[in-house]
Amino acid sequence: MGKRRITPGTGQINLEIESTLLERLRVFVRERDEKMRHVVEMAIRRHLDYPPPPPIPKPLEVLPLPPITSDKLPLTAKTKATKRAKPTKKAK
């Protein structure tokens, strides 16, 4: 079996699609007397020119923090509060 020639300016892809979709494509191409390549190229161009909205990403799952096992409490706003110096009055 010899090498397949590739038309200049083109590339090849190999993919698997659902068998029922492939059969529908074959029937569509046969009924319209078109080449499968042209039908697939038109479908891809149309999809890229007018794409559906992008999928909404799932929110990140926030895992709970492990419990505190130390005898010392972590510093919080209440435990590290210090006395502030009173502002001095400016002389007139």
Radius of gyration from C-alpha coordinates of the chain: 34
CB-CB contact of 28 with 21 (8 Å): no
Average pLDDT, the chain: 83
Give me the mean pLDDT over the 29-57 stretch: 95
Separation CA 51–CA 48 (nearest Å):
5
Q: Which tens digit of pLDDT belongs to each residue from 59-76?
A: 898 888 888 776 666 566
Task: Give me 83's structure tokens.
Answer: 């006395």
Separation CA 10–CA 37 (nearest Å):
11
- pLDDT range class, residue 86, cuts 50, 70, 90: low
Task: Give me 67's structure tokens.
Answer: 């419990």
Separation CA 49–CA 34 (nearest Å):
22
